[in-house]
Amino acid sequence: MQWRAVVLTVVAMVAFAGNSLLCRAALRDTDIDAASFTSLRLASGALVLALLVWLRGGRVRAGGSWLSALALFIYAAGFSLAYLGLGTAMGALLLFGAVQATMIGVGLVRGDRPNRWQWLGFVLAFGGLIGLLLPGLSAPPIAQAALMLVAGTAWGVYSLRAKGAGEPTLATAGNFLRALPLTVIFSVVLWPQAQVDVPGVALALASGALASGLGYAVWYAALPLLQATTAATVQLSVPVIAALGGVLLLAEPLTPRLLVAGTAILGGIALVILAKTVTPTARSPG
């Protein structure tokens, strides 16, 4: 890769991993609730993306769709609710695994025919996911794990719908804008739990404006410079960066279960991608 592609890719992957770190830090260490975090994240992301579209002379309302906005909202809401009980690394790994499983599964339904190395990768990744969720002392809370799997599935659907949706920054800006009314409903439903504080608001705005809005814009700038397989493979770094960030910045432990299961999941997905790319390139989750 050229140096420009390398820099843009590294910045984008750090931004996407940063979403997990910012969300977990906000919901663990501040008083902000999950609905308020989600609303502020999507609102600030919509503002930044709309500004980028406006600077390019575009119209935000011309991009996106209501179905994609619904998938975006389900991802963002599930992501926040899940991080009420999941560690950073666990959440990022479950999210990434669900995204890839959704996209690969749709590819199979549409007629993709994996080779034997890819089947080995499927088995390895699925086995790692099962091992991650099995009951035990280091098992994640089942409700939050299920919410993160739903979030990952929604993001996989969003990525699949994004294929052929036009200019990606414009489409994403339109989807963020359309998702805002859904966040209002979400906040009203969870109003009894509503609370905010300055640190929580700051982390939510950073997640939306920087890690989401600018992160996606940087990734879309990097994508034309990357081969499809390279773009898919580098996304394997997101859970790893999130895990390292959780250890170094949030003092979270890396359990043997997480290390073994994570290696199996990421190794299996890498095998599927490198043997032969069978799915569209996902818009990396964050």
Residues 67-121 have pLDDT tens digits of 999 999 999 999 999 999 999 999 999 998 898 888 888 877 887 787 888 888 8
From first CA to last CA, the distance across the chain in angstroms is 23
Q: Check residue 282 and give its pLDDT.
A: 56
3-class secondary-structure state, position 276:
coil
- Read off the tokens for 278: 């069978």
Specify the residue for token string 């919901």. 27
Kindly give the parts of the chain with pLDDT less than 70. 1, 58, 60-62, 136-138, 164-166, 276-286
| Contact present, 146 and 153 (Cβ < 8 Å) | no
Q: Is the sign of the CA dihedral 261, 264, 267, 268 positive or negative?
A: negative
φ, ψ dihedrals at 238, nearest 5°: -60, -50
Dist CA 132 CA 268 (whole Å): 14
- H runs (alpha helix) in 56-115: 66-82, 88-109
Q: Check residue 106 and give its pLDDT.
A: 84
List Cβ neighbours of 32 (8 Å cut-off, separation of 6 or more).
26, 195, 196, 197, 199, 200, 201, 203, 204
Dist CA 159 CA 229 (whole Å): 16
Tally of residues, the chain:
286
Please, what is the angle between helix 34-55 and helix 3-29, to 10°? 150
Q: What's this model's pTM, rounded to 2 decimal places?
A: 0.87
